[in-house]
Each structure stands twice: as structure tokens, then as C-alpha cells.
Structure 1
């Protein structure tokens, strides 16, 4: 792995920025209707339990990334195969978030700009950042963290003072019972965004204080989860559930309705600034995990040799993965969670933890006098 170390506070910030990423921009939990915010909180609770699986694996092998310790758990050949599959998974997730980023810009502001141009500019910046290393990415996160929260606070106050929030749009709570909320949790909010914390199984060995890893990661997840849930509630309260369901980017629609004193309006720039920052960190961490995993599996001495080839793969895949935005969203919210996210985020890590538990117990038994 890269010879770098990041602080627990930087890990906390990276978790918040990663989890919020593109999740705060999309209409998540829509199948739960006005209880979408509740489905997101349920996803947070499930995500915290799921992170404990990743954390326990990290405790067994604190100095190794996922692609290394999976070989110790399952054996060399099976472990390498799983490692390759996870590298492909990280590349696929980078691709999907990059496509989200490009579609958001080309459908809102740069309507006459080809998708390949927008995505190329973003991926070149990310390649440069990854070449500089995780420490630089973490420091950039520290710089942007405060700016994001200032924008979020300003946006919330402007929405509030514009009189856009109508709490009756959130009622009745649990109109259809817990069933649609639970189904939304299983098929959506558990895996996106909280299950995506699996990417940190590649990054946790870089933390300089292993005792603070659990607090930093779970604290970051809680803060991000509350932010996303609050954003969903504000969107629904402002737009109503019908418009929330129809809108491709509910947050943009909400911000577009701000009008205060016939002077403060057209604040789409808030949305665009967050879009660029959030997607940058989400793509960067998936991309970095793929690079570190491939470097580990192929025994490269320097991860920088792989950044451009993998970046090129992500760029080309981002414009060919779907023929249009509707198809991309359909795959991302209906197909991927069940057939990709569940195996890679939940099933495989849980099986690995069970095997690791018995292996470590056996090793302790044989080493004791």
C-alpha cells in the first residue's frame, strides 16, 4: 500500500463527504412515499450494523487492505479471485457515480456539452489527486468540509424564510404502515449509500490511530445519514411527494424555488458547487480503492502506474454503461442494489467474517500452551 497515514479527524470528514456524495442529490427512498426520510434513517441503522462487520475484519487484520486479508481468510486462489472481483466492483461504482455527475451537469447547466467532455475533465482532476496520494485528498476534504456546511446552512435558512416548507406534505406518517418503508430499506437505503462503506476496508490500514477508527467512521455515517434524511424531508415538505417522485434532481428543484425579497433567487450555483465537491470525493475514494487493490494483487511497487489506465477504463465505461439517463437510473436504483450491492456489501463480508472468526479462534487455541 501507499506509505501514507491520515488522521482520525480526516477519516471522519472523508466518511461524511463520501456517504453524502451523490446520495443527497437524488430522489432516494421514493417508493416509501412521504416516509422516505424514515427509510433513510432505517438504512443508517442497518448501515451501522453492517459497518461493524467491516470493522471486525479490520481488527483481525489491522495492517492489511481487504484484497490482502481475503487471501488469508479463504486461501490464495479463492482470495485473489475475490480480490479481483472487488477491484472490478470499485471500478464499476466509480463509473456509476461519474455518470451521475455528468448527467446532472449535462441535464441542468451544460445542456449542449457532450457527456464525454464533462466526465473527462472530472476524471483528469481525480487522476491527478490520486497520483498525489490519499493524504492530499484528505487535506482537500478538510478544506471543503466547512464550505459545504456553510452552504447547507445558508440554503436551509433561505428555504425556511422563503416559506417553502409545508410540513403537511410529510403527513400522514406511516400511512401505508412499515412494509413499504422496510422494503425501501432492504432494496435501497441499506446499500446506497451506507453499504458503500465497504470501500473503507481498503483504506482503514492507512489510519495513524487504530483506536479511533470505529468512532470516526460511525460518527461520520451518523452525521451523513442525518444530513441526507433531513434533506429528503425538506425536499418532500417543499415539493410534495408527487413532484418529488417526478423530479430527477429534487434538491435542485427545491433550491430553484427559493425566492426572497424579489432579490435572492436562482441559487443553482449552491447545488452545482456541492455536486462537484461531493462527486469528486465519492469517485476518488472508489477509484483509489480500485487502484490500491489492483496494485496489491498485481504486486506493483507504485500505485501511480495504474491510475491512468484505470481512470481511462472508468471514463469510457461511464459513457457506455447506459444509453440514456433513464436507463442509468433504472439500473442504479433497481438492479444494482439487489444483484451487485447485496453480494459485495453484505453477503461476502459476512461470510468472510464467520470464516475469519473460526480461523482466529483455531489459531489462538493452537498457540496457547
Structure 2
């Protein structure tokens, strides 16, 4: 791959924007009702536990992507197959997020635009940035995280001054006990969005100060988790738990209720723009991880030559993944979370950690 390095701030910006992704807009944690914010917070704690597994593996092989040290831990052939499995997963995850993005645009602002047209334009923009390299992605994230935070502060201020917030909608706490909260937090929210940060095991070798990887990852995970938890509470306070449960994109409805002096209205564009930024980086990072995997597994000399073909695959997959948005969401909740996230984000990394620990113990005894 390219001989590039990203700074601590750039990696934090990419992780933060990636983690918000589509989770900021969808009804995350709605299974816990009024306590969705608490379920997200607990899911974030589960994400921290998984991070410790990923970080342990990174510390053993700080100069290699995940596909590289999978071959060291499992052996040349089994490790290669596992690396290929993860590379295919990254392509699939990029296509799922691309479909999320295009479906929200169709629902909110562009109802008569062909789905394929939106997907192609998004993929072409991402291909261009990835062609320029990971450093350009990092610098772009640095710029956009500032605009995103400004929009977030402005949007929250307008929601508060509009007088639409009713904190009684959040009461009583633990109305239905701990069970729905725990069932929602573990495993659903732990898998989406927090375990998806596994993808950064492919990008950490580019960090110019590897010793700070732990601080950057944890700060990005916790800060984004707190924002998601706060957003869930805000949606319930403004809309009520019943309306959040019915809404596909509750944040759009929350910001849509802002009406100041019959002048400041229809601020949905703030949410759409925020979603555009976060999803751009989420798709781009999954896309780039797949490129790293292909280059590492097939020993390619130039990663730029496979960017456009990979983009075509992602576009095609995003169109074929489901016949409609309802089917797409159902697949994500019932299939992806259990049959993809559990083995790829939990079981295989845990096995790798155990094998690496055993090998380290034998090495110390040998020495």
C-alpha cells in the first residue's frame, strides 16, 4: 500500500465521523423505549470491551493490517482465507451503508431520483478521494468534523429555543425494567455501531504515533457514543416514544419541528447534510479497508488500479442487497447482526487473541 501516515487528530476525526454514520439518524435503541439513551450507553460500554480485544492484537503486530497478522496467527493458508472473508465483508458493509445513504436521500429530499444515480455519484466521489490517498481522507475528515460540530450546536440550539422539548416524555426511568434495555444494548447496539470500529484494525498501521492509538480509539468511541445517547434522548423528548418508534429517521422529524417566528422552518437540510458527511466517511473507510485487504492478500503493487473496479462492485451490491428499504432494514437487524457481526467482530478476534497469548507465553518460556 501507499507509504502514508495520518496524524492523531485525523484518525480521531475519521473514527468519530465513522461511528456516527447512519446511527445518528436511524431510531437506534428504539427497542428500549424511553430508555433508549441508556441502552446506547451500555452498548457503548460493550464496544469498549471489544476494543480491548482489537487493541491487544494491534499491539502484537503494530505494523500490519488485520489481514496480515491473521496469516501469522492462523498460518499461511487458513489466515489467507480468513483475510479474504474480511475483505468481502468490508465490501458488503460499504454497500450496505451506501444503500442506507441513498434510501434516506430518496425518503427526505429526492423522492423521484433514481437510486442508482445517487449511488454512482457517491461512489465516484469516494473513489476520487481514495485515489488521492489515506492522507487526503484524513485531512478532509479534519475539515468536515468542524462543520459537523457547528451544525450540531446550531441544530441543538434551535431545537431548545423552539420550545418543543418535553422532558416528561423521558419519564419514568426504567419504566419496563432492565430487561428491554439489556436485550437492546447486548447484542444489537454493541454490534451496530460500536463493533463496526473493528474496521480500523486495517488502518491503524498508518497512524504516525502508534503509542497513542489506544487514546484516540477510546476517545472517539466514547465521545461518539455519548452523542448518540444524547440524540436518542432528544428525539424521545421532542417526539415522544410512540412517534420515535414509528419514525424511520427520527432526527429528521425532530429538527423538522423547529419553527421560530414562522421564519426558521424546514431545517431538514441540516440533518441531510450531517448524514451526507458521516456516511461519506463510513463508506470510504469500509471501502479503503477492502482495498488494503485486496492489496495485502493478492500482493498487488498499485492499489489505485483496483479502486474503480471495487467501486463498481459496491454499487452493484448496494442495488442487489434488497428489493426495498424495509427488506434492507430487516436484513440488517436479523441477519447481519447475528450471522456476520458475531463471528467476524467477536468470535474470530477472540480466538486470535487467545492464540497470540499462548504463543507469547511459549516464546517467553523459550527465552
For the criterion TM > 0.5, the same-fold answer is: yes
Equivalent residue runs for 1:39-58 within 5 Å: 39-58=39-58
Aligned to 1:322: 322
Contact 2:46 2:186 in 1 (8 A): no
> Deviations along 1:98-141, whole A, 9 cap, x unmatched?
00000000111111111000010000000111111110000000
Q: Distance in 2 between matches of 1:120 and 1:250?
A: 27
Where 1:288 maps in the other structure, the secondary structure is helix
Shift of the alpha carbon at 1:172?
1.2
1 CA distance for matches of 2:12 and 2:111? 36
Quote the Cα distance in structure 2 between the aligned partners of 1:29 and 1:348: 26
Q: Aligned equivalents of 1:204 and 1:71: distance in 2?
A: 17
Unaligned runs of 5+ residues in structure 2 are: none
Q: Is 1:238 matched up with 2:246? A: no
RMSD value over aligned CA atoms?
Answer: 0.8
With the length of structure 1 as denominator, give the TM-score of the two structures: 0.98
The answer to whether 1:173 aligns with 2:173 is yes
Is residue 28 of structure 1 aligned with residue 28 of structure 2? yes
Q: Is the 8 A contact 1:87 1:293 kept in 2?
A: yes
User: Which consecutive aligned stretches of 4+ in structure 1 deviate over 6 angstroms post-superposition?
Assistant: none
Q: What whole-Å deviation, never above 9, does each CA across 1:231-254 have from its counterpart, x for those lacking one?
A: 111001111111101111000011
Equivalent in the alignment of 2:224: 224
In the alignment, the residues of structure 2 paired with residue 348 and residue 177 of structure 1 have an alpha-carbon distance, to the nearest angstrom, of: 33
Alignment correspondent of 2:357:
357
Q: Which residue number corresponds to residue 14 of structure 1?
A: 14
Q: Which structure 1 residue ranges, 5 or more long, are not aligned? A: none
1:279-300 per-position Cα deviation (integer Å, ceiling 9, x unaligned): 0000000000000001100000
- 2:8–2:207 contact (8 Å) kept in structure 1: yes
1:363: Cα distance to partner? Answer: 2.0
Find the aligned partners of 1:311 and 1:24 in 2 and give their Cα distance.
Answer: 25
Q: Distance in 2 between matches of 1:358 and 1:187?
A: 28
Equivalenced residues, count: 367
Counterpart for residue 158 of structure 2: 158
Structure-1 separation of matches of 2:181 and 2:334: 16
Higher alpha-carbon deviation: 182-191 or 68-77: 182-191
The 2-side partners of 1:188 and 1:20 are apart by 16
Q: CA deviation at 1:277?
A: 0.4
Q: 1-side partners of 2:69 and 2:226: how far apart?
A: 33
- Does the 8 Å CA contact 1:187/1:334 hold for their aligned counterparts? no
Q: Which residue matches 2:65? A: 65
TM-score by length of 2: 0.99
- For residues 191-270 of structure 1, the aligned pairs below 5 Å read 191-270=191-270
1:309 corresponds in structure 2 to: 309
Secondary structure of the residue that 1:190 maps to in structure 2?
helix
1:334, distance to aligned residue in structure 2 (A)? 2.6
Alignment of 1:330-341 (within 5 A): 330-341=330-341
**Helix, strand or coil at the partner of 1:11:** helix
- Partners of 2:117 and 2:310 in 1: CA distance: 18
SS of equivalent to 2:252: helix
